[in-house]
Amino acid sequence: MINSLGLEKKPNQTRVVVAMSGGVDSSVVAAQLKTEGYEVIGITMQLYANTSFKSKPGKCCGGVDIKDAIKISSDFNFPHYVFDYQSEFKFGVINDFVESYHSGLTPVPCIKCNETVKFSNLLDAAKNLNADCMATGHYVRRTTGEKGIELHRALDETKDQSYFLFSTKQDQLEYLRFPLGHMKSKSETRIKAQDLGLNIADKPDSQDICFVNGGKYADFIKNLSHTSNEPGLILDKNGVELGSHDGIINYTIGQRKRLGISSTEPYYVLEINPLTNSIVVGRRVDLITKKFKIKEVNWLGDNSFVDSPTDGWPLHVKVRSTRPAKSAIIYPIDRKNGEVAITEYEEAIAPGQACVFYEKDSSRVLGGGWITAD
């Protein structure tokens, strides 16, 4: 007998750990699995001290969220544990976030959190609880292909979170389950929450970066950083001085506002150079990129990444979570590095962001890598 989690066990003989953030999605997963008869254990990460902004709507893993997760577990009568990962989160996510901005990069902390805490520490905790698998509320699909487990985009592409899970390893996919990936819309999830009697059915989704108050990244970095944020020069492509900036942490590639340069045509940030503490600007046409390099490649294809066709891997890629995938050719340099040639072009490709691979004419995720400044 194959149960709904793809295991050859009856639900009441299957122990599943659910990673509960305290939000609607993971709460629906936990409650639904318990209703189906599974032996559910809820676990929640405590990632930071319970300061006031962590408990506001639109944040996750704060004081209110932990209380919501505990209440769901109590209402549905399954055990729940809170694991303190504050030090791991600070080291793997917050410190990386701060250091990236000081290095002129534009980080994606949600990917780093999945990579260094959720699918590392939390997954190990699930295994230590002797769970058969760990389920999350992510909107992605896990399917069984001809050569093993595959990661696919969610059925509802407006909620798809595959961009943030590109670094998930094959052995992790074997253990993970994503019950919401087949939902047709978020409204369907909320209706399910109402049907299950969850008191958080209308709770707002998480927004922005969970540990930054009000989206003020620069203020957050200044408060934590031991490195001074010195003003410097704004230059054009030819090295001509056009103005000055108030610290490179205040800027990202493609930024147009708050440059303080008088011009009949807008300027955009093209490059951030931490070594010279300078910012290079140009016109919008200068943001167009057709080739760039990637590092720390995580490949989820059936064959080895380096065993590409002679003319490279013909795939689709996303360079930002909110942008549509575009046709590209991936040329492996070695098993962890490559070059991406976009068939058309992209604008404002920012080092530090992820480039995620998708199989052409398919929903399958084939991994990805981190965009470099080289």
- As annotated, the active-site residues are 113, 210
First to last CA, the chain: 52
The sheet with strand 278-282 has its strands ordered as 241-245, 232-235, 278-282, 268-273
E-state strands within 103-147: 133-135, 140-145
H helix intervals, 90-165: 95-102, 109-113, 123-128
Closest CA to 42 of 66, 6, 10: 66
Please state at what angle helix 186-195 crosses helix 24-35, rounded to 10 degrees: 50
CA distance 209 to 207: 7
**157 Cβ contact list (under 8 Å, min separation 6):** none
CA distance 312 to 304: 12
